[in-house]
Structures are given as structure tokens and as C-alpha cells.
């Protein structure tokens, strides 16, 4: 496992990290024991950053993760959670709710501090409120010692640029913007790095578009994106290529991205992903798959408020 600097935080994070949304039964029903075992296997195999949110499974993911990390040395883990989103259409970025949220998360996670706190999917809120009220509240939490570092997460890259113009943050968490079918993250990468901000990349499978199981019914991508990704998956299946492997290998190759989050609640999948990133990527396969995906290259869907896209 390779470890990379996370911006100017001083943290060294594993190039592959665990996205704990699956512990909340977001994609399939997961029992507590399976979730706990997944976390332990990840840590034992060198993963040190785990990301979660109260939104995932409506607090279930945090609860299961708390059970898992209570059984290991806290110092072995860089724990990242979020505040601001609590349901599909439930958002509250007010300082009061953020402070209440972190106290609730600390109880569920069975810890007395969070390493990184992100405001969750800020494109659904007012960026004025985020910049002038929400982020200053995180600065207060940092001074109180409840969190060590903070940043913002979301889909539209515009939100990161707007925040970085006004506020000093430690990290950004971007998803579905650096994968086989979309590398838009490169458009802001230099600016983010120049400001000393660490980049966390999530969903190298584009929320299931680049998986054999396929995208879930609720996936917000257009019909064109879904069908083109399905063609790439089918091509790989016919030709003995594991598109999931290719997607994960591709994402971790960019060393300017500190870590890539892979979401799973399956211990075997964790071991498999770690094995993959230690193998050389097949560039011939990569070229062929990228050619199939070319018609939708860098196409993305809208998320949140219109003005934030």
C-alpha cells in the first residue's frame, strides 16, 4: 500500500481508502458482523482512512463503524465523517445543527474526535451560508478539538472553486469526477493543490455505472451515460476484462489525488481491491474501454441547486 500526503494536513493516507456508506445497507442489506469484519480487514491490509456520514443508512453506517473501530487502536485510523445532509431531501447547514451533528456522530462512532469533517453535498445549500456561517462553525469545532481538519464535499466542481476563493479549507471530497468515463476533476486539480488542499476522490465506479451489477435504479445519470457505460461493461465481460479492476487501477494512478474511496461491506472485495492496485494496469484494455466511453467522456448530471452547477 502506498501512502500519500493529504494536502498540508500532515496526514499520510493510504492511496485506497474505505467508503463506509455500504455499512448502512445503502446498496444491499448488510448485517453488523459483516460490516465490522470489513472494517477490520481493511485496516489489517493497510487502509487507514475511512469515510462515513450520518446520512448513510440514516445513521446506521456510523453506528456499525463505531462498533468496528472501538475494537482497534484509534490512532490506526484517519476517521472522516460529514455534516449537513441527513436524508434524501434533508439538509441543514446551520452552525447550530452542524455542532449538534458532530456531537451525535462522536457518540455513534465511539470516539472523542474526528480527523476530518466535511460538509456533505453543499450544492444543495446556499453557498453564501456555507462560506459565511457553516465553515466558520467548523473552524470553531477545530479549535475545540472535536475535529482536526475540515472541508467540503459534493458533485459539481463549481462548488469547490467558489469555496476556495473565499475560505481556507483542508480537504475536498469529490465523487464521480475522476473515473474511466469522467476526468473533469483535472480541470480544478492544479488550483486545489496550489492552495494546499488535499483531494479525496470517491466512487471510481461512478456509483455503479462501471460495475457488472450495473447502476442502481435511482442513479441520476442520463440514459446516454447509462447505456454507454453498459456497453463498456458488456465489452469487458465478453473479453474477460474486469471493468471494476480497471476502474480502480485507473483512479489510483493519479498521484495528485491523495486517496480514492472504494465503498464495500464485503471483506473479500477489500482484499481484492488492494491486490488490484498492486498490479500493473493493462494499457491496451484501458485504451479500448476508454474508446467505448468516448461519446460520454466528461459528461455529468446536475446535482443540487441550479446556480451551484
In this predicted structure, the answer to whether residue 21 has a pLDDT above a threshold of 80 is yes
The CATH number of the domain covering residues in 3-209+244-280:
3.20.20.100
Active site residues: 56
pTM assigned to the model = 0.96
d(CA 80, CA 20): 10
Domain boundaries, the chain: 3-209+244-280
- pLDDT value for 264: 87
% of the chain beyond a pLDDT of 90: 92
- pLDDT value for 54: 97
Nearest to 68 by CA among 77, 56, 59: 77
Q: What is the mean pLDDT of the chain?
A: 96
Amino acid at each position: 500500500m502506498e501512502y500519500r500526503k493529504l494536502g498540508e494536513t500532515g496526514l499520510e493516507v493510504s492511496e485506497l481508502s474505505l467508503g463506509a456508506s455500504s455499512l448502512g445497507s445503502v446498496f444491499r442489506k448488510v448485517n453488523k458482523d459483516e460490516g465490522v469484519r470489513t472494517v477490520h480487514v481493511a485496516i489489517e491490509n493497510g487502509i487507514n482512512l475511512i469515510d462515513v456520514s450520518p446520512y448513510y443508512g440514516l445513521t446506521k453506517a456510523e453506528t456499525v463503524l463505531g462498533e468496528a473501530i472501538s475494537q482497534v487502536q484509534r490512532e490506526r485510523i484517519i476517521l472522516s465523517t460529514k455534516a449537513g445532509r441527513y436524508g434524501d431531501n434533508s439538509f441543514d447547514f446551520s452552525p447550530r445543527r452542524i455542532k449538534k451533528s458532530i456531537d451525535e456522530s462522536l457518540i455513534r462512532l465511539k470516539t472523542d474526535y474526528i480527523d476530518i469533517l466535511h460538509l456533505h453535498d453543499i450544492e444543495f445549500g446556499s453557498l453564501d451560508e456555507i462560506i459565511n456561517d457553516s465553515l466558520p462553525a467548523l473552524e470553531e469545532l477545530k479549535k475545540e478539538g472535536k475535529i482536526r481538519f475540515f472541508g467540503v464535499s459534493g458533485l459539481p466542481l463549481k462548488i469547490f472553486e467558489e469555496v476556495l476563493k473565499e475560505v481556507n479549507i483542508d480537504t475536498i471530497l469529490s465523487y464521480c469526477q475522476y473515473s474511466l468515463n469522467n476526468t473533469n476533476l483535472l480541470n480544478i486539480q492544479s488550483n486545489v493543490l496550489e492552495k494546499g488542499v488535499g483531494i479525496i476522490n470517491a466512487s471510481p465506479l461512478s456509483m455503479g455505472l462501471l460495475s457488472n451489477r450495473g447502476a442502481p435504479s435511482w442513479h441520476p445519470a442520463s440514459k446516454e451515460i447509462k447505456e454507454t457505460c453498459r456497453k463498456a461493461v458488456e465489452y469487458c465481460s465478453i473479453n474477460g476484462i474486469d471493468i471494476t479492476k480497471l476502474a480502480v487501477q485507473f483512479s489510483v494512478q493519479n498521484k495528485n489525488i491523495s486517496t480514492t474511496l472504494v465503498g464495500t461491506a464485503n471483506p473479500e472485495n477489500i482484499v481484492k481491491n488492494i491486490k488490484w492496485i498492486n498490479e500493473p494496469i493493462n494499457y491496451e484494455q484501458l485504451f479500448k474501454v476508454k474508446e467505448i466511453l468516448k461519446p460520454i467522456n466528461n459528461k455529468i448530471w446536475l446535482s443540487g441547486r441550479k446556480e451551484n452547477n
